[in-house]
Amino acid sequence: MSPASGPTTGGTAVTITGTNFPAAIDSVRFGNGRLGDPVRVSSAQITGTTPASSVAGSTDVTVYAAGAGTVTCSACFLYVQYQLTLTVRQVLPNYGALAGGTSVIVYGTFPVASDVRLGNTRLVNLSTQSGLAFGTTPAGSVPGPVDVTVYSDSGGYQYGICAGCFTYHSTDAMPRYSVTYLGAGFDSSQAVDMNDSGAVVGLVWSAATGLRGRLWTSAGAAMDLDTVLPVAVNNAATVLGCAGTLSTGTQVLWQNGAARLLGGLGSFTAYCGDATDINNRGQVALGAPGEAYLWSNDSLTPLQTAGALVASLHRMNDRGEVAGSFFDLGPQAAVLSTVASRGLGGGRESWAVDVNEAGLAVGYMQSTPGWGWTGGYLWGMGPIPFTPTAINDSLQIVGGAWMWQDSAEATLSSRVAGGAWQISGAVAINERAQIAAYGVNTATGQRGAVRLDPVPAVSGTRATRRSRP
């Protein structure tokens, strides 16, 4: 038997070695309990998981095979009664694919672990030190949360449980997508933002015209923004953009072919890069180092900062809440408003990049001291496994080449029909679950700005409310 011992709770993955095991094995018994998921690997090997035992101690292991007889290995497996004395605090990340293969860190107060299990299945490629265990998740049986149990034989038989600390997910509820290519006629193109009707703004470049702004309407028509380089677009197709060069230009609003400067700024001059978003009420998030305002109808209202300096501003919702960060011994994620701002960082260097109508923000954090995990964050629900760029009211999140929904993540390329498109650079997801991104078609050679459109009648898009431009 390998291993030759395990807890009375069962679930130990074992290998039984012998000779002349016939092709058809009826059952393998540990005392009176049956081996779970038995597999005859060869005439010399059977694998499976141990059943639970009501008592600790040695037990016989018997192999039954009709027509070939029965063989018993006496007292071949030792059931051990582990004591619940260890503390298991958290798993990072705390969810992963049902197929397994997620690299995780388990931490708590325990000596070197002899075994770590998700549900009844062992963590793969386990390596461990005091208080930490590293490995790869095994495949799960059904989506949902499972307990994470750490066993240690160091200093006595002990174990600890973190109840429901890891969630297996399935991508079945995620939308499937078709691709609308937007970059035709240009040497290069890049999406910047999208509104809820599916209109996309972006940048295009060609040798003949140089760098220009572009608006692709929801119906597929394209409008030239001339030298206005877009930053964001709202549902009224008002484009917040930069007129002129990035170093000397100013922020403008473009609509129906005409551009105007932001008025009522007083001594504040809105240079390119100072304005970050426009919402459906026509409010603009506007700031410079240390300052932050909400612009509306040619007037400025300060965003409340509780005396802290503003380190960054990003996307906003229709309530006038802006995702960003304060500066307090390093950037700290925050949601800023004209009424009361909220710090989110918890003392760690962090940045919020988008906020939906419910006030849930996404962003990213620096390495966590002690276990070195770095990645995205949904404040209110915890870590996500990639750096996010946008969130909608249905809690669908995109970032780079990835999408997250209901604790499930998947590459955008895997959600696209046909398999020829490789998708990356996702910048926006709207309330219809459409996504603005960058794509490369490996079959046709097309590359540039794309819009991903959910295939009709796919369940799981659930997009009904507005979140962001």
Whether the CB-CB separation of 199 and 216 falls below 8 Å is answered with yes
Same domain for 335 and 363, yes or no, is yes
- Which of 111, 145, 169 is the C-terminal boundary of a domain? 169
Q: What is the CA radius of gyration of the chain?
A: 28
| Residue 466 belongs to some domain of the structure | no
- Edge-to-edge strands, sheet with 200-206: 188-194, 200-206, 210-216, 222-224
Same domain for 216 and 140, yes or no, is no
Same domain for 192 and 87, yes or no, is no
Same domain for 63 and 190, yes or no, is no
| Residue 245 belongs to some domain of the structure | yes
d(Cα 260, Cα 213) in Å, to the nearest integer?
Answer: 15
Overall number of domains in the chain:
3
Same domain for 258 and 153, yes or no, is no
Beta bridge partners of 33: 30
> 154: domain range?
83-169
CATH code of residue 33: 2.60.40.10
- Which of 30, 60, 80 is the C-terminal boundary of a domain? 80
| Residue 130 belongs to some domain of the structure | yes
Same domain for 132 and 250, yes or no, is no
Tokens standing for residue 333 = 């994620």
Whether the CB-CB separation of 102 and 135 falls below 8 Å is answered with no
3 prior amide bond cis, ω within 30: yes
Same domain for 44 and 97, yes or no, is no
CATH code of residue 345: 2.130.10
Whether the CB-CB separation of 389 and 400 falls below 8 Å is answered with yes
| Residue 129 belongs to some domain of the structure | yes
From the CB of residue 443, how many other CB atoms can be counted at a distance below 10 Å? 9
Specify the pLDDT at position 346.
Answer: 66
Same domain for 211 and 349, yes or no, is yes
- Which of 45, 64, 80 is the C-terminal boundary of a domain? 80
Same domain for 281 and 140, yes or no, is no
Digitized pLDDT (tens) for each residue of the chain, 469 residues in all = 998 988 998 988 899 999 999 999 999 999 999 999 899 999 999 999 999 999 999 999 999 998 888 999 999 999 999 999 999 999 988 888 888 888 999 999 999 999 999 998 899 999 999 999 999 999 998 888 999 999 998 888 999 999 999 988 888 889 999 999 999 989 999 999 999 999 999 999 999 889 999 999 998 789 999 889 999 999 999 999 999 765 678 899 999 999 999 989 887 877 888 899 999 999 999 987 778 999 999 999 999 887 788 888 999 999 999 999 988 656 889 999 999 888 887 667 889 999 999 999 999 887 544 444 457 889 888 788 789 999 999 999 999 999 998 878 889 999 998 889 999 999 999 999 999 999 999 999 999 999 999 998 444 444 333 333 3
| Closest C-alpha among 103, 121, 112, 195 to residue 156 | 112
Same domain for 105 and 138, yes or no, is yes
Same domain for 110 and 231, yes or no, is no
Same domain for 405 and 305, yes or no, is yes
| Residue 469 belongs to some domain of the structure | no
